[in-house]
Amino acid sequence: MSRLSLARRKLFDRVMGGFCIGNTNARSLICASDQIEKLTCAEDNMIKILYVGVGDMRNLLTTLCNVPLDVKVGFTMNDVNTLVLARNVLIMSIAIDNPFAATSIWSDALISSQDLAILTQMLALCIKGKLPTWINVEQQTFEMLKAHWLSWLQSLETCSLEKMMKTREAAIRVQGTGHGRAGVSSSWREFGVASKTDAVARTLVQFNPTLYDFQADPTSPQFVECQGPTAAFAALEGVSCGGTAFSQILQLAWKQLFSSLRDSVKANTVHIHVCAGDCTTLLDKPEDTRTEMLGYSNFCAIDTSNLMDYVGLWNLLLLCGKCLDESVESFVFTEQIMGVANNTENMLLETIPHQPDVSRCFAKYIGLELEEMPVALRTHKNEKVVHARWRRHVPTKADFSLEDHSNRKPELIAALKTFLGSRYKSVQSALKDLWVHDLDSFVASADSGDPSVTPESMVDALQELSSSECDQEKEEEALFLTRVFDFMRQILIPQSLSPEMIEDVHKAVELSYPFPTSTIGTFVEFFSRLLQTKAGVERGGAALKNFFADKSMNDFPRIRNRTFGLQIQCSLRLGKVECERASFQTRFKRSQIAVFQSTVKFIANEDVLLPKGGILEPALSVFLVRSSSVLKRLEQLNGKWENSEEGPVNLVFEYLSDCAASSLQIIDNASFDSRTNQLQIELPIRRGDTPFQYFVLVDIQQYRLISVPQPLTALEPTKSTTPPTKKKRKLST
């Protein structure tokens, strides 16, 4: 069966659909210091580059400028937003012969009659499938793009300029829409024109249909360009939109990009494949399906834009890592915008497991190594974004070595010697045999300032601690498993937003709140990748293989309420054997996993479907509840807080610490369609195998119930997973 996404879905996770013009300076994926031959696949003598969440095509074309003209390059443009892809195909097709018209159509809400004539002609060709030979659109994607092209062409006859400009004015005033990182000028607010001066903008009487989405409701189009091009190119910084300088710089920037495209097309060295869809599911497909959908099964480089802000760094690394070409020095590029980090070290501090050295180790375990960005590709000094490049790496036993950890021992012993003073000699020999983890704990106690921690009490504790099983090999294995367990704990148990963060969307970013983008499936995928490497199995040994068979898993608060989801994801990724050995109290019988769906009804007076800047939209989980009494208690605590010495405590989150595994389970991997209110989750196909009676949709960022509880029987298998009924075979005549 097709698995649901690793990434945690938002209730409204298409907020970026209002940004069809990029939010950061155009940048290249490669530069002169990259050795092109080491990125070129020998089999087809081509550099294959995938752009997921491509947005507009500025970055793709900027990269093309840095590829020698005689080198073949195959690009794949992917985005979940079909309108953006429809614009990209249309604009690039126009740009070969009419670059200035293409620039206007890219940026301006109002265009000239001449540009409109060029646009109308190209729309007619695209609708007929007469695309340039260097552009290929995946078959299903073509039908989706064609729907946009048709609606744009029809709107020129059915919609007035007055109606469309009123629609635009309303859209840019919507609270929660956002106006980009660089803000917008008063000139842009009035005209929506950037490639021409205000004086020229006042003379324009044709609306640009490509900035409107007619798919949801043809009679009520949505304006989808709410931030302007102020941040699109570094050269535009500080230049006021509406003036001569701004329009000239913008035109020049696009002229260079379109000239490079035209030269490559003439040299027959560029090919662009277009595929719509969620990259977190597309990249999880088998190789033959990836080839069919994305044009290639593996890539020399993958640009993920700033998707890590929305789908999580680890999901991208896990999915992209297995799609890299092993015959070249391939890499994955990530970008963080939604945070306060100013370098990769701080970015990793903000990201689970919040330990940069551990994150680097984990990346190596799954076949990627963080490397320095080439100087030429580093961010502009005034851009508050973090770029990172993750080079393909073959895991070795050395990657799992914890020598740096062991080398800290003399330093820790010296710190304890200072604290213990004259009593040090009585425990000197015992200290040498202790694990670094234990020494760390004692040093932390000594530094805590706790008056109860004295040299005498510490000597007593040191003497009580047994060191009979201490050896470096066992210590390294124990530390490795501790890190894996801690990684699981942080992924499985998202922290709640504080009331302060809920009230002010900026506080969540400023305080580095770890947005819950990963899921139970993320950890199980990471875990399965460990088991696929010889070095990983050697390091963890039997302990790693028996990870889920440890009975203590049922004893950990909140983790025990995720064991049902863990078992489902193990069934999908590790196979039935691992599931049967699991010690979970909620273990189900051998059963096929299926995707179930149901229409969700939201709690009255909830504004959960409104956009909230791409940050505070509900992050989804599903609670499976066993009894009406547990459900009633959840409803009583819903949305309530209690003050403690450490700050406000979310009462639903607190309730989970005492909740038995058999009373409530949490499912992370879910899919939700905001247009139909359809929820999809993965469950055992025999629902009788589960002890639960109800399900309810929850915003896990706030541990808040947002839907009306429904009986589990309301969930029905999707058509793709419903077992076929056996029919008697008829004899042919």
DSSP secondary structure string, 273-320?
EEEES-HHHHTTS-HHHHHHHHS-SSBSEEE-TTTHHHH-HHHHHHHH
pLDDT tens-digit readout, 412-427: 889 898 999 988 888 8
pLDDT band at 18 (very low <50, low <70, confident <90, very high): low
Task: Average the pLDDT over 620-639 and give the result.
Answer: 96
CA-based nearest residue to 622, from 520, 534, 528: 520
Which tokens sit at 275?
């595929």
Q: Say what the pLDDT of residue 470 is.
A: 55
* Domain residue extents for the chain: 10-338, 402-468, 593-717
Closest by CA to 617, choosing from 6, 3, 1, 18, is: 18
Beta bridge partners of 213: 222
- Tell me, what's the pLDDT at 733? 25
Q: Give the containing element (helix H, strand E) for 368.
A: strand 368-371
What would the mean pLDDT of 476-492 be, rounded to a whole number? 88
pLDDT at 14 over 70: no
Which pLDDT band holds residue 685 (cuts at 50, 70, 90)? confident
Q: Which residue has the higher pLDDT, 684 or 434?
A: 684
pLDDT surpasses 80 at 16: no
Is 142's pLDDT higher than 90? yes
Secondary structure in 3-state letters for 610-640: CCCCCCCCCEEEEEEECCHHHHHHHHHHCCC
CA distance 522 to 519: 5
- Quote the pLDDT of residue 615: 77
Q: With beta carbons less than 8 A apart as the criterion, state whether 172 and 178 touch.
A: no
Vertex 263, ends 262 and 264: CA angle to 5°? 90
pLDDT at 460 exceeding the cut of 90: no
With a pLDDT cut of 70, the percent of the chain lying above it is 90
Q: What is the pLDDT of residue 6?
A: 93
- pLDDT exceeds cutoff 50 at 727: no
Residue 613, Ramachandran bin (φ over 0: left; ψ between -120 and 50: alpha; else beta):
left
Task: Say what the pLDDT of residue 22 is.
Answer: 83
Q: What is the pLDDT of residues 52-78, one digit of tens each?
A: 999 999 999 999 999 999 999 999 999
Q: Give how far the C-alpha of residue 659 lies from the chain's centroid of Cα atoms, to the nearest Å.
A: 30
In this prediction, residue 405 carries a pLDDT of 57
Under 8 Å between Cβ of 82 and 145: yes
Q: Hey, what are 462's tokens?
A: 């040191």
Model pLDDT for residues 295-343, shown as the tens digit of each residue: 999 999 999 999 999 999 999 999 999 999 999 999 999 999 888 899 9
Does 437 or 415 have the greater pLDDT score? 415
Q: What is the largest CA-CA distance in the chain?
A: 101
pLDDT score of 692: 92
According to the model, what pLDDT value does residue 720 have?
Answer: 60
In terms of pLDDT, which residue wins out, 440 or 360?
360
pLDDT value at residue 180? 57
Residue 532 and residue 540: Cα distance in Å, rounded? 12
pLDDT in tens, 543-602: 677 788 778 888 899 999 999 999 899 888 877 556 666 777 777 766 688 899 999 999
Q: How many CA atoms lie within 13 A of 620 on its CB side?
A: 29
- Would you call 431 helix, strand, or coil by DSSP? helix
Is residue 40 within 8 A of residue 51, CB to CB? The reply is: no
Contacts of 725 (CB under 8 A, 6+ apart): none
Residue 694 pLDDT exceeds 70: yes
For residue 331, give both structure tokens: 């890499």
Higher pLDDT, 350 or 226: 350
SS3 87: helix
Q: What angle do CA 8, 657, 314 make, to 5 degrees?
A: 25
177 pLDDT more than 80 = no
Residue 564 near residue 621, CB atoms below 8 Å:
no
pTM equals 0.89
Percentage with pLDDT > 90 across the chain: 59
Distance CA 152, CA 123 (A): 8
Structure tokens at 312: 């999580």
Comparing 2-16, 350-364, 673-687, which segment has the lowest mean pLDDT?
A: 2-16
Secondary structure E strands in 41-159: 47-52, 73-79, 110-111, 135-137
Q: Are 598 and 716 in contact (CB under 8 A)?
A: yes
Q: Residue 17 pLDDT more than 80?
A: no
Average of per-residue pLDDT across 10-16? 68
Q: Write the pLDDT tens digit of every residue in 330-365.
A: 999 999 988 889 999 999 999 999 999 999 999 999
